[in-house]
Homo-oligomer: A and B are copies of this chain.
Amino acid sequence: MPTIKEVSEHAGVSQATVSRVMNGTAKVVEETRVKVLNAMKELGYRPNAHAQSLASNRSNSIGLLISEFDGPFYGALMAGAEEIFRKHKKRILISAGHGDEKLEKEAVEFLLGCRCDALVLHAETLSDEYLIEQANQGTHVILINRNIAEMEGQCLYIDNEQGSFMATEYLIEKGHKNIAYIAGPQWKHDARERFWGYQKALGKHNISLQLGLVEEGNFRESGGYQAASKLLDSGHKFTAVVCGNDQTAYGAISAIEERGLKVPDDISIVGFDDLPYSSLIKPKLTTVHFPIRQIAAEAARRILQDVYKEKNTHTFNSCVQASMVERNSVKSIT
């Protein structure tokens, strides 16, 4: 692989000049510019990104921490950020933490080792302290889906509690009183926040929480399926289920239908996230919209603005309100 030196010799100029035409950092006479360009073509020259980063102290890349590479949620997160960055010639480096503390830390260390110009983190297991430390250490960090007081202005999240509150209240307004809840793993703060929103909504309407109507899932179909099965087989009566997220809802629906019951005729369901498939399944899922793609795009815009000093616009609040998407999985029983 040819180097800048070979190009410079081939073109009969100095390395500095080659660098200049590559980066447009200084005026170069058209004639020499062409010579250099030709030399680059002929040799099939490709600048070594590592050498560039090392010399310029800029990597032009942004680190992205996610939990998994598959799954619609993270897909939207990656796509939303990439779309914005791509338009500004910035690259993303993606690393997955797999919901494991050790792996998540390794992933961040990797991104830091790559000297990313900024980090967008969807951290599930990393402690507040760790995150604060990184931010204080000079790296520009944006946290997705977390709210740490000490990092105000660097957090982008939705109001999980409010979303869940809204979903629950929505069912109550439709006449439901016995409303079950299938929670996400309670070590996840968003799962806790969502569960809390459910409780608050019940409280507001003077409905007392029935422990028999609450199960913990895993935020995936399997957990939703199992939790709903337990609920159904327990004999407790309920007419609706609030699910910690859409995937949980999918599983719950399967369990319900497997028992010959119908959604929403026998049991109403609401989800949370509004994944792409939620509008494709039957019945179309009534759920809480989580604008993750937009949030990711917003994170990108902020970085473009703050780190790369591009004068963008469009910055919204840190905390985004969730909104209800009414579809066909809830029946009014008033």
Instruction: Tell me if A93 counts as interface (CB < 8 A to partner B).
Output: yes
Q: A113 and B47: CB pair below 8 A?
A: yes
Contacts of A74 on B, CB cut-off 8 Å? Answer: 75
Q: How far is the CA of A79 from the CA of B72 in the complex (A)?
A: 13
Instruction: Tell me if A29 counts as interface (CB < 8 A to partner B).
Output: no
Q: A280-B250, A281-B281 are in contact. Are A48 and B113 (CB under 8 A)?
A: yes
Give 13 CB contacts A-B under 8 Å.
A46-B113, A49-B114, A51-B54, A68-B79, A75-B75, A82-B96, A86-B103, A93-B93, A94-B94, A250-B280, A277-B280, A280-B281, A281-B282
Instruction: Tell me if A50 counts as interface (CB < 8 A to partner B).
Output: yes
Contact of A114 among B50, B54, B78, B137 (CB under 8 A): B50
Contacts of A72 on B, CB cut-off 8 Å? Answer: 70, 72
Contacts of A254 on B, CB cut-off 8 Å? Answer: 280
Contacts of A229 on B, CB cut-off 8 Å? Answer: none
Q: B79 and A75: CB pair below 8 A?
A: no
Tallying the copies of this chain within the complex gives 2
Q: How far is the CA of A135 from the CA of B89 in the complex (A)?
A: 26
Instruction: Tell me if A109 counts as interface (CB < 8 A to partner B).
Output: yes
Contacts of A105 on B, CB cut-off 8 Å? Answer: none
Could you list which residues of chain A lie within 8 angstroms of chain B, going by C-beta atoms? 1, 44, 46-51, 53-54, 59, 68-72, 74-76, 78-79, 82, 86, 91-96, 103, 109-110, 112-115, 137-138, 221, 250, 254, 277, 280-282
Contacts of A76 on B, CB cut-off 8 Å? Answer: 70
Closest 4 A/B residue pairs (Cβ): A70-B75, A69-B78, A50-B50, A69-B79
Q: How far is the CA of A53 from the CA of B51 in the complex (A)?
A: 9
Contacts of A82 on B, CB cut-off 8 Å? Answer: 69, 96
Q: How far is the CA of A94 from the CA of B92 in the complex (A)?
A: 8
Q: How far is the CA of A254 from the CA of B282 in the complex (A)?
A: 10
Contacts of A59 on B, CB cut-off 8 Å? Answer: 50
Contacts of A112 on B, CB cut-off 8 Å? Answer: 46
Contacts of A280 on B, CB cut-off 8 Å? Answer: 221, 250, 254, 277, 281
Chain B residue with Cβ nearest A282: B282
